[in-house]
Structure 1
Amino acid sequence: MKRRLVIFDLDGTLLYTLEDLLNSVNFTLDLFDYETCTLEEVSSYVGNGIEQLMRRALPTNISEKEFALCLACFKDHYSKHCCEKTRPYPGMMELLQLLKSRDIKVGVLSNKYQEAAEEVCEHYFAGLYDIVVGESEHCRKKPAPDGINMICEKLNIPKDETLFFGDSEVDVKTGDNAGVYCVSVLWGYRDREFLANNGAHVFVKNPLDIADIIG
């Protein structure tokens, strides 16, 4: 069956974002006199949204009041510096241009808060996507099916004509929960063994190979 809609995860799938995330995490930790994180640590913390990223980066015994201050600090810093070292993965721009030329709709589904997801998508992919859905009061984070459901409904494309691509175990669970086929990408923040151990069955090694999968 021809696929008319492709939905992409953002961090680790469309964009390499770790260095900007690390910068904002460590700016916050340093400001509040906490030990900073390594790139590898931040890589293991991403996937469940900004709040969970900061909970994993901060000590477990801090108060909710201080956590709220740290989270606000991170959001403010990241909103100003989210596009400094972030970059599309090799081949991604060509893939998105190819999908557009074939009249295949493109959705972006992220656990970033909505404003940040929109900002980075517009900065890097202006004109190459149809809808961006991030975390908001109207949409539960992945692995809830809300985001995929919203994208399919707004673009009026059934789920059996949709494919979802992501780099994490959260994305695999999201596809399962939404009833949409998920393909796991191997250029992101999780390796093949980890993904396979968390339910992934189909993998892709290169963005341009996605065009062949779509058919």
Structure 2
Amino acid sequence: MKPIIVDFDGTLADSTAALVAAWNIIAQKHQLKDISLKDIDGLKKLSLMERSKLLNLSMYKVPLVLPQFYQLYRQSLQDIRPFKGMKEVLLELAKRGYKIMIISSHAKDTILTFLKLNDIHCIAEILYSNPIAGKDKAIEKFIKKSTIPADEMLYIGDEQRDIIACKKVCVPIIWVGWGYDAKEAIQYLQPDYQAVAPHDIVKIIDSL
């Protein structure tokens, strides 16, 4: 069973509204810049450093802000749904014998609650990614205990940091265009494959 690692926020879960609401509560508390849903398209085109500067989020504030942010986010789980078509894609890949996994910096019980609420039962494993350490550490840890070589795995994600992490551990990545980073923000990183819509994922895997 070849593993397919799927990013959670922005790839599987359409959580933009919940993230904006949680961020603005945190922003008010820590003197950060608040955002609205209409700001999202502009933010998607920026690099991680440009976003941090715009939002007034310095690196020393990150360890303080993130735990509070995720706690607020979890309270909105009942309002978060999978992107249209993603549930069907995961079910199809699982039916074909792939081991479907989710990677996220959210707690495992948060992901399990989302899966239960949305009747998704094809996830074999959940990988926790420390938001400070980076996703490559979580992927590398999984690779070390797996019998499948890294270049025979596949990652599906939407952000610059997903592509950077995959390049560090030599795992091919399908970047998806409906998430948090626009094409302008990721183009220079040259992801292995690009999907405009969920059904493109199956087409790409069929072509491999």
* TM-score, structure 1 normalization: 0.75
> 2:77 is matched with which residue: 43, 62, 82?
82
Say whether the 8 Å CA contact 1:110–1:133 is kept in structure 2. Answer: yes
Q: CA deviation at 1:75?
A: 3.2
> 1:97 is matched with which residue: 88, 91, 102?
91
Q: CA deviation at 1:59?
A: 4.2
The SS at the match of 1:127 is coil
In structure 2, C-alpha distance between the alignment counterparts of 1:187 and 1:117, rounded to whole Å: 20
User: Percent identity over the alignment?
Assistant: 23
Letter in structure 2 aligned against 1:12: G
Counterpart position of 2:16:
18
Q: CA deviation at 1:156?
A: 3.6
The SS at the match of 1:210 is helix
Say whether the 8 Å CA contact 1:4–1:104 is kept in structure 2. Answer: yes
Say whether the 8 Å CA contact 1:166–1:183 is kept in structure 2. Answer: yes
Say whether the 8 Å CA contact 2:87–2:120 is kept in structure 1. Answer: no
Structure 2: runs of 5 or more not aligned: none
Superimposed CA distance per residue, residues 82-140 of structure 1 (whole angstroms, 9 cap, x where no aligned partner): 332x2211111111111121111111122445554444345436422111112349x93
Matched, 1:160 2:139: no
Superimposed CA distance per residue, residues 56-84 of structure 1 (whole angstroms, 9 cap, x where no aligned partner): 686458x86xx73x545433322222332
The aligned runs of 1:35-46 (5 Å cut-off) are 36-39=34-37, 41=39, 44=43
In structure 2, C-alpha distance between the alignment counterparts of 1:118 and 1:56, rounded to whole Å: 33
Say whether the 8 Å CA contact 1:111–1:141 is kept in structure 2. Answer: no
In structure 1, C-alpha distance between the alignment counterparts of 2:152 and 2:27, rounded to whole Å: 44
> 1:206 is matched with which residue: 175, 197, 203?
197
Superimposed CA distance per residue, residues 123-169 of structure 1 (whole angstroms, 9 cap, x where no aligned partner): 436422111112349x9322xx2222333455543223211111111
Counterpart position of 1:48:
none
Q: Aligned-pair RMSD on alpha carbons?
A: 3.6
Say whether the 8 Å CA contact 1:114–1:134 is kept in structure 2. Answer: yes
The aligned runs of 1:180-195 (5 Å cut-off) are 180-195=171-186
Counterpart position of 1:196:
187
Q: Give the 3 Å change call, closer, same or farther, for CA 60–140 of structure 1 in structure 2.
A: closer
Q: Give the 3 Å change call, closer, same or farther, for CA 121–147 of structure 1 in structure 2.
A: farther
Counterpart position of 2:167:
176
Counterpart position of 1:7:
5
In structure 1, C-alpha distance between the alignment counterparts of 2:134 and 2:112, rounded to whole Å: 15
* TM-score, structure 2 normalization: 0.77
The SS at the match of 1:28 is helix
Letter in structure 2 aligned against 1:17: S
Say whether the 8 Å CA contact 1:12–1:188 is kept in structure 2. Answer: yes
Structure 1: runs of 5 or more not aligned: 46-51
The SS at the match of 2:122 is coil
